[in-house]
Structure 1
Amino acid sequence: MRRSLTLFLALGCLLWCIACAEDDYTLDDQATHSITRIHTQNNYFKDEYGRYLFLHGANVSGSTKLPATVDPVSYTGKPFPLDEADANFAKLRDLGFNFIRLLVIWEGVEPEVSGEYDEEYLDYIEQIVAKANDYGIYVMLDMHQDLFSRWLRKYYVDDSGGNALETLPGLEDFASPPFNDVIQGDGAPRWVVQLGLPEKNVGGPQWGLPRSLVGDQRETSDMLPLHWGVDNFLSLDVARCSATFFAGKTLYPNYLVDGKNVQDYLQDSFANAWLQIVKRVKSYPNVLGYDLINEPLGLYVVYTLYALLYQEAKDTTDNVLSQQQVEDQVDIVLEQLRRSGMPESDLVIMRDLYLNWVELPRTPDEFEASGFPLGESPYKPDLTAAFGLNSNFNRNFLQPFFSRVGQAVQAEDPDAIIVIESTIGLDDTAGLFGFYITPMLAPEGINQLAFGPHYYADVYPFVLSYNPTPRDFTVDEISFRDYSEGILGAIKQASFSLGNVPVILGEFGTYFNLGGIEKATESDFIVPAHIIDNYYDTLEANLINRSIWCYSSENTALWGEGWNREDFSILDTNQQPRASDAYSRITPRFTSGRLVSYKYNSPLAYYDPRPGVPTPYQEFNLEMLGLESSAPTEITIPKAKFAQGFYVYVSDGRCLYDPERGILYWYPYDDDPNVSHTIRIRPPYDDYGDSSWNYYFDGEKMLEGRQ
């Protein structure tokens, strides 16, 4: 076969490939025209040319959870300053990402009072979206929260000699100032938290101090310095704020703010905060959609438990509970969870937590300080509603919330894709022994819906508390784990009850300080790399859109991304990629036919050796069915991965490569709807007799082979 080395002008090649009539059409034009608003079709994302969009992205960023300044509070500059935006988006693009889940914070939009907005922050968000557009990166905006708000916090001393804190007295040993750390949430502004905890002095001089140092419990939060996720289920403050936000009309029917029930007031404020963002960004073609709220709380065990204790105390002569009465009420709550399908092993842990870690109320004063007044008050919860809060929460409360806020966003941006998540709580697709299933349904009135669940494998460096000896993992222990069951379980609601909508796995990832940051660094983060690679094995096999947690340009060895010492960032302390073999992958960006399968052979994967056959590290194979668009299939090729060039094999058609953006354009010829089109990309191995390649690309050079 004759091979000819030809240096193509990009203009001439593109004109020949697509028969473009305009003499000045360039690769820059192709890149610009590739970005259009996306719409949903069944369980796919498609662009205006009829191509299928495939999302390979990252969350930007974990450091956004904390404000840039606290007095006055401002989130302008999070996730990174505008003068660093070009460098960061270039890095994201060069790593192969075509999509970001951009965190925005309610407190950043509406920091002080309802209806007053931080225009500087809104300007900043718009500029970040615009800059992402310049780099061909789609954006899904995510109104982020964890533990409801950063105003729910607890200070503590991070110094336990490596021993886990196992009991509440153990926690109190670390309650003496000076404090050097804090466990906290993120999301809602202080004025919202104050409405959720009306009897408390939110943000007062003692706010966040350990209870042992505060005389009046109304002056501080009830958070515990544990792994932050545990406070979702142990903190009454978190539960009350979230319950007021989602279910205030049911729980507090007489609690009015400016003539509205507190739930309506808060949800209207939240929707209006969203609208300030939507108005700024809706005109940009790279806006994929709006993830209405991150990880809403859906399990209110501690709230129900307090309500049961409150009812029991009212029926007691002196309104004081004995230890046995407390234990009896705990068991009643656990029985409700057992009937809802919670595993027995989890129930044992929950019982220990509530009896030994949470300071449950026993006296009238303790109930008053916990937001359960014995006398008449608009802040007294409806006990019947409180008892039933954990039953069908997603359908009864979350689904109407999504409909309300989603319709408001959609009215402002008719092209909006509304992304919803499931709650942190019980699996509502399982029911009791497979029966009595009442899952959340698609919210009413939403024209374009997508599902954005999260999944994290059990690779946490500690259990329940801060200050324990870190859990350690080995490569042999981790590298062959299969996350298929967990990931497929996380996404199944999309087809189970939401109408088979498109799916984006909005978060997944791992700590990079497993075994301690020094050991992890010395090993070149090999354990996190294998964990992340395992995720992608399942994601690719099932063609799942995804965004890894997280990309953060702010990272230190001690504090990680800065929030609760989480260290998930794929960038190290020098803002350089770490473990990039796992996530910097060749991926489809757009396909002009329906994607059937694709596979990237990671350097981290295990391959059975075959005599005489090179191990296919970094090879990529894709198959698609038919042609539904004359626009090219686009494949992202991370620039750093193929510094020595790469070979391309195609079933039919022509190829063109944009080395600046790392995009391979493929124009198949055969438009028979039943024909499968295939492409294979591989690095330049030593030749082993495979001479059937069609193209070799190295920067702007192209070697043309078999045609």
Structure 2
Amino acid sequence: MKKLTIDGQRIVNEDGAQVILSGVNLVCKEKEKGYVDPCNESLFTWFHEQGFNVIRLGLIWDGVEPKPGVYDNEYLNKIKQQILWAENNDIYVFLDMHQDLYSSLYGDGAPEWATFSDGLPHVVGQIWSDAYLESPALNRALDHFWDNTPANDGIGLQDHYAAMWKHVAAFFADCTNIIGYDMMNEPYPGSRGQEVFGTIIAAYAQSVMGMTEVNMEQLSALWFDEEQKQEILVGMADMDIYRVLVESAKEASQVFEREILAPFFNKTAAAIRSVVPDGFLMLETSYFSNMAVESGLELVQNDEGIIVHHQVYAPHGYDLVVDTEHYEIYNQDRVDLIFATHRKVQERLNIPALIGEWGAFTDHPATLGLSKALISIFEQYLWSNTYWCWCDGFRESPYSKALNRAYPQATGGVLVEYHYDYDADIIKVDYVPSGGETLIYHPRVALLSKENVVVAGADSSLIELRPFPDSEGGIVSIIAPQGETTITITVGKPPLEQK
């Protein structure tokens, strides 16, 4: 597989072609399964047939380091098998050190030996993520991690984490389709998160409820009451109000990113780069940026304070009704704001963006249209993405039909814009050609002929259709001569008129 690198805000391959990565998350959070999804190579073949060219592949700290300084290479070998299956099917992989609620004691992530709750109680919310705001034990454990409290062997928890990543990076160093390292899934600030949440609640009380004196305990309780929460979410549909709420939380969230998260990323990245000099460092935001709080994320630096190469902005984005069936109050305007905010941060950082998680949809019929709307945002910003996530029933779900879409996997030149019309089954790609090969995945290549491929603006072009074995999907290859003006490739049925 071709080596990937970075050119400004673009991911490019070794031939200089601009690359769009589109795929899915694959992670097993279940300890009883050994943190490895039971599957075989046929799953990865199906991913390939769907046009997926990347997988965000989850690892769990508890699986990697079950005892302090003791690494489970048998577990890592099972993960390596999946990486090799991906490579056999021309799929890139980036590794995701996954956690939800920090620890295997509360969700998944850290081993028990790295979880210090000081005897505080753990509280489970109605929705799993509510525990971040409600559980004293969880927040204390996170505080100990961010403070680098020594484990029982005297080594700090963050130091253990960095050493664990170093072992992982070295173990997989021979896997040539690994492109990057997602250093921590959705970093949560611990007890500092109460301040972020508190600013949002206070702003809501003042903006919506007209309160001048805010009773934080009483207002917080409203959020954890399912019926009251739905009423609050309806109130947050007013975008003028919602912008006030997320703006109010920005400074508290960014303080965590600047003072706590940035040094953590620097330390972890140094450990990874000590054994693997290349590979993308995937930068995730604070948890609260998932909802449009603007991130203050900083680029990773080395010990000399120099910004290191090959970094990718990898935020997540979900509407506030995620993990529920309340699609009747799903708000596309909120979603648009989330990703517009991510775009603003990407432009400040001036690095490529890959949306590491989005979706988390159920089988509700509305998810087809919602997925198409999100993909149109990724098209607009020329972003890569990995959908959250592979699960039982994925193949039959409404949203999977949106994920199986035409897009330019590699553009031989500078990609200007592209759009796939699901109804017409036609994709248009505008780019300035460099003379290299453009590869467009189309879900029905087997039903097309060269007459269905039109190259407008180029004097000549070479066209080749490459259907996948036993599949309707495949690749359209176009080589157009180098030029200085934009040309347009149109692929699809019915037969297109020559322009």
> Is the pair's TM-score, using the shorter chain for normalization, greater than 0.5?
yes
2: distance between equivalents of 1:43 and 1:443?
Answer: 16
SS in 1 for 2:11: strand
What amino acid maps onto 2:439 in structure 1?
A: E
Distance 1:301 1:94, change over 3 A: same
SS in 1 for 2:126: coil
Equivalent residue in structure 2 for 1:188, among 107, 110, 124: 110
What is aligned with 1:648? 453
The answer on whether the counterparts of 1:453 and 1:507 sit within 8 Å (CA) in structure 2 is yes
| Deviation, structure 1 residue 588 | 0.7
The structure with more helix, counted as a fraction of residues: 2
Distance 1:480 1:304, change over 3 A: closer
Measured against aligned partners, the alpha-carbon deviations of 1:312-371 in whole angstroms (never above 9, x if no partner) come to: xxxxxxxxxxxxxxxxxxxxx9469859x998559979643656899xxxxxxxxxxxxx
1: distance between equivalents of 2:175 and 2:476?
Answer: 24
| Deviation, structure 1 residue 426 | 6.5
What is aligned with 2:78? 124
What amino acid maps onto 1:550 in structure 2?
A: C
The answer on whether the counterparts of 1:299 and 1:426 sit within 8 Å (CA) in structure 2 is no
What is aligned with 1:549? 388
2: distance between equivalents of 1:148 and 1:349?
Answer: 29
What is aligned with 2:341? 489
Measured against aligned partners, the alpha-carbon deviations of 1:603-645 in whole angstroms (never above 9, x if no partner) come to: 3xxxxxxxxxxxxx11100011130x63x1111122xx45533
SS in 1 for 2:176: coil
2: distance between equivalents of 1:225 and 1:232?
Answer: 9
What is aligned with 2:313? 451
1:300 equivalent to 2:194? Answer no
The answer on whether the counterparts of 1:479 and 1:534 sit within 8 Å (CA) in structure 2 is no
Distance 1:343 1:100, change over 3 A: farther
The answer on whether the counterparts of 2:280 and 2:311 sit within 8 Å (CA) in structure 1 is yes
| Deviation, structure 1 residue 300 | 2.6
1:596 equivalent to 2:416? Answer yes
2: distance between equivalents of 1:537 and 1:357?
Answer: 32
Q: Residues 246-257 of structure 1: matches in 2 within 5 Å? A: 246-248=146-148, 257=152
Q: Residues 119-518 of structure 1: matches in 2 within 5 Å? A: 119-152=73-106, 185-193=107-115, 196-197=116-117, 199-200=118-119, 221-248=121-148, 257-260=152-155, 265-298=156-189, 300-301=191-192, 334=198, 344=207, 351-352=217-218, 354=220, 392-425=255-288, 439-445=296-302, 446-460=308-322, 462=324, 470-471=325-326, 473=328, 483-496=335-348, 499-513=349-363
Distance 1:238 1:52, change over 3 A: same
| Deviation, structure 1 residue 648 | 0.8
Measured against aligned partners, the alpha-carbon deviations of 1:207-230 in whole angstroms (never above 9, x if no partner) come to: xxxxxxxxxxx6xx4222410111
The answer on whether the counterparts of 1:511 and 1:528 sit within 8 Å (CA) in structure 2 is yes
The answer on whether the counterparts of 1:428 and 1:440 sit within 8 Å (CA) in structure 2 is no
What amino acid maps onto 2:31 in structure 1?
A: P
| Deviation, structure 1 residue 472 | 5.2
SS in 2 for 1:243: helix
- Give ranges in structure 2 of 5+ residues lacking alignment: 225-250, 303-307
What amino acid maps onto 1:141 in structure 2?
A: L
SS in 2 for 1:237: helix
The answer on whether the counterparts of 2:202 and 2:216 sit within 8 Å (CA) in structure 1 is no
1: distance between equivalents of 2:345 and 2:300?
Answer: 13
What is aligned with 1:50? 16
2: distance between equivalents of 1:472 and 1:425?
Answer: 21
What is aligned with 2:492? 682
| Deviation, structure 1 residue 66 | 1.2
- Give ranges in structure 1 of 5+ residues lacking alignment: 1-34, 153-184, 201-217, 250-254, 306-332, 359-387, 432-437, 463-469, 514-519, 521-525, 556-569, 604-616, 694-707
1: distance between equivalents of 2:318 and 2:290?
Answer: 15
1: distance between equivalents of 2:192 and 2:206?
Answer: 15
1: distance between equivalents of 2:194 and 2:292?
Answer: 23
2: distance between equivalents of 1:595 and 1:352?
Answer: 52
What amino acid maps onto 1:634 in structure 2?
A: L
What is aligned with 1:67? 31
What is aligned with 1:657? 465
| Deviation, structure 1 residue 461 | 6.2
The answer on whether the counterparts of 1:528 and 1:579 sit within 8 Å (CA) in structure 2 is yes
What amino acid maps onto 1:668 in structure 2?
A: A
The answer on whether the counterparts of 1:43 and 1:500 sit within 8 Å (CA) in structure 2 is yes
SS in 1 for 2:389: coil
1: distance between equivalents of 2:388 and 2:316?
Answer: 10
2: distance between equivalents of 1:223 and 1:237?
Answer: 8
Measured against aligned partners, the alpha-carbon deviations of 1:135-165 in whole angstroms (never above 9, x if no partner) come to: 111111100001102312xxxxxxxxxxxxx
> TM-score of the superposition, structure 2-length normalised?
0.82
What is aligned with 1:325? none
The answer on whether the counterparts of 1:461 and 1:511 sit within 8 Å (CA) in structure 2 is yes
Distance 1:39 1:590, change over 3 A: same
2: distance between equivalents of 1:351 and 1:484?
Answer: 31
SS in 2 for 1:65: coil
Considering only CA atoms, is the larger Rg found in Structure 1 or Structure 2?
1
| Deviation, structure 1 residue 490 | 2.8
What count of residue pairs does the alignment treat as equivalent?
A: 456
The answer on whether the counterparts of 1:452 and 1:503 sit within 8 Å (CA) in structure 2 is yes
SS in 2 for 1:392: helix
The answer on whether the counterparts of 1:299 and 1:390 sit within 8 Å (CA) in structure 2 is no
The answer on whether the counterparts of 2:319 and 2:330 sit within 8 Å (CA) in structure 1 is no
Measured against aligned partners, the alpha-carbon deviations of 1:472-514 in whole angstroms (never above 9, x if no partner) come to: 53xxx87986843221213432223xx311110111114224x
What amino acid maps onto 1:471 in structure 2?
A: H
1: distance between equivalents of 2:45 and 2:18?
Answer: 24
What amino acid maps onto 2:317 in structure 1?
A: Y
2: distance between equivalents of 1:427 and 1:635?
Answer: 30
What is aligned with 2:235? none
Distance 1:428 1:398, change over 3 A: farther
1: distance between equivalents of 2:205 and 2:480?
Answer: 51
**Alignment root-mean-square deviation, CA:** 3.3
Distance 1:47 1:460, change over 3 A: closer
The answer on whether the counterparts of 1:36 and 1:285 sit within 8 Å (CA) in structure 2 is no
2: distance between equivalents of 1:357 and 1:668?
Answer: 56
What is aligned with 1:88? 43
Measured against aligned partners, the alpha-carbon deviations of 1:101-145 in whole angstroms (never above 9, x if no partner) come to: 11111111112x111111111111112111111111111110000
2: distance between equivalents of 1:60 and 1:102?
Answer: 5
The answer on whether the counterparts of 2:446 and 2:467 sit within 8 Å (CA) in structure 1 is no
| Deviation, structure 1 residue 660 | 1.9
Percent identical residues: 25
